[in-house]
Structure 1
Amino acid sequence: MSIHLKNLKDGDLGEATIVVGDPGRVLLLSEKWENKKEIVNNREFLLITGTYKGHLVSVCSTGIGVGSTEIAVTELIENGAKQIVRCGGCGAWDATINPGDIILNSGMQRSNGMFSSYVPETYPAVADPLLLSKINQSLVNNSQKVHVGLGLTTETYYLGQGRAPQINSELPIPNIVEHYNKFNIINCEMESAVLFLLGSIYNIPVANCLVVHVSRSTEKWVEDKDYNKIHQNTSEFVLDAMLDL
Structure 2
Amino acid sequence: MSAGVDKSQVGRDVRQFHIGVAPGEVGTVALLPGDPFRVPLVAEFLTDVRDVAHNREHRTVTGLYKGKLITATSTGMGCPSTAIAVEELVRVGVTSVIRVGSSAGLQPGVRPGDLLVSEGSLRNDGTTAAYVHHGYPAVPDLELTLELRRAAERLAAGKDYAVRSGLNVSSDAFYAETPEVVAEFSRLGMLNMEMESSAMYVVARLRGIRAGMICSCSSNLVDGASVYDAGRRLHDGWMASIEAALEAAVTLDL
The question of a shared fold, defined as TM-score above 0.5 by the shorter chain, is answered with yes
In structure 1, C-alpha distance between the alignment counterparts of 2:142 and 2:79, rounded to whole Å: 22
Asked if residue 119 in structure 1 is aligned to residue 119 in structure 2, the reply is no
In structure 2, C-alpha distance between the alignment counterparts of 1:101 and 1:216, rounded to whole Å: 14
Q: Aligned to 1:226, which of 233, 237, 245?
A: 233
Write the letter of the residue equivalent to 1:125: A
More divergent stretch after superposition (191-200 vs 27-36) = 27-36
Q: 2:96·2:209 contact (CA, 8 Å) conserved in 1?
A: yes
Write the letter of the residue equivalent to 2:247: D
TM-score by length of 1: 0.90
Structure-2 residue corresponding to 1:153: 170
Q: CA deviation at 1:112?
A: 5.4
Structure-2 residue corresponding to 1:81: 94
1:5-56 per-residue CA deviation (whole Å, 9 max, x = no partner) reads 11x1222222421001111100112123111111111111100001111111
In structure 2, C-alpha distance between the alignment counterparts of 1:244 and 1:47, rounded to whole Å: 23
Give the secondary-structure state (helix, strand or coil) at the position aligned to 2:59. strand
Q: 1:85·1:208 contact (CA, 8 Å) conserved in 2?
A: yes
Structure-2 residue corresponding to 1:3: 17
More divergent stretch after superposition (217-226 vs 24-33) = 217-226
1:106-155 per-residue CA deviation (whole Å, 9 max, x = no partner) reads 11111253322210110000011110001111111222621111111011
Name the CA shift for 1:112/1:42 in 2 (closer, same or farther; >3 Å).
Answer: closer
Structure-2 residue corresponding to 1:39: 52
Q: CA deviation at 1:203?
A: 1.3
In structure 1, C-alpha distance between the alignment counterparts of 2:233 and 2:124, rounded to whole Å: 30
Structure-2 residue corresponding to 1:57: 70
1:184-208 per-residue CA deviation (whole Å, 9 max, x = no partner) reads 1111110010111011111111010
Structure-1 residue corresponding to 2:4: none
Give the secondary-structure state (helix, strand or coil) at the position aligned to 1:198. helix
In structure 2, C-alpha distance between the alignment counterparts of 1:66 and 1:217, rounded to whole Å: 24
Q: Aligned to 1:208, which of 202, 213, 226?
A: 213
Structure-1 residue corresponding to 2:189: 184
Write the letter of the residue equivalent to 1:175: E
Name the CA shift for 1:43/1:112 in 2 (closer, same or farther; >3 Å).
Answer: closer
Give the secondary-structure state (helix, strand or coil) at the position aligned to 1:125. coil
Give the secondary-structure state (helix, strand or coil) at the position aligned to 1:211. strand
TM-score by length of 2: 0.87
Give the secondary-structure state (helix, strand or coil) at the position aligned to 2:152. helix
Give the secondary-structure state (helix, strand or coil) at the position aligned to 1:206. strand
Q: 1:152·1:189 contact (CA, 8 Å) conserved in 2?
A: yes
Give the secondary-structure state (helix, strand or coil) at the position aligned to 2:87. helix
1:189-231 per-residue CA deviation (whole Å, 9 max, x = no partner) reads 1001011101111111101001100011222245333322321
Give the secondary-structure state (helix, strand or coil) at the position aligned to 1:126. coil
Give the secondary-structure state (helix, strand or coil) at the position aligned to 1:120. coil
Q: 1:41·1:47 contact (CA, 8 Å) conserved in 2?
A: yes
Which structure has more helix as a fraction of its residues? 2
Structure-1 residue corresponding to 2:3: none
Q: 1:19·1:61 contact (CA, 8 Å) conserved in 2?
A: yes
In structure 1, C-alpha distance between the alignment counterparts of 2:19 and 2:128, rounded to whole Å: 21
Structure-2 residue corresponding to 1:240: 247
Name the CA shift for 1:112/1:45 in 2 (closer, same or farther; >3 Å).
Answer: closer
Name the CA shift for 1:152/1:34 in 2 (closer, same or farther; >3 Å).
Answer: same
User: Any gaps of 5 or more consecutive residues in structure 1?
Assistant: 163-173
Moved over 2 A (4+): 221-226
User: Any gaps of 5 or more consecutive residues in structure 2?
Assistant: 1-14
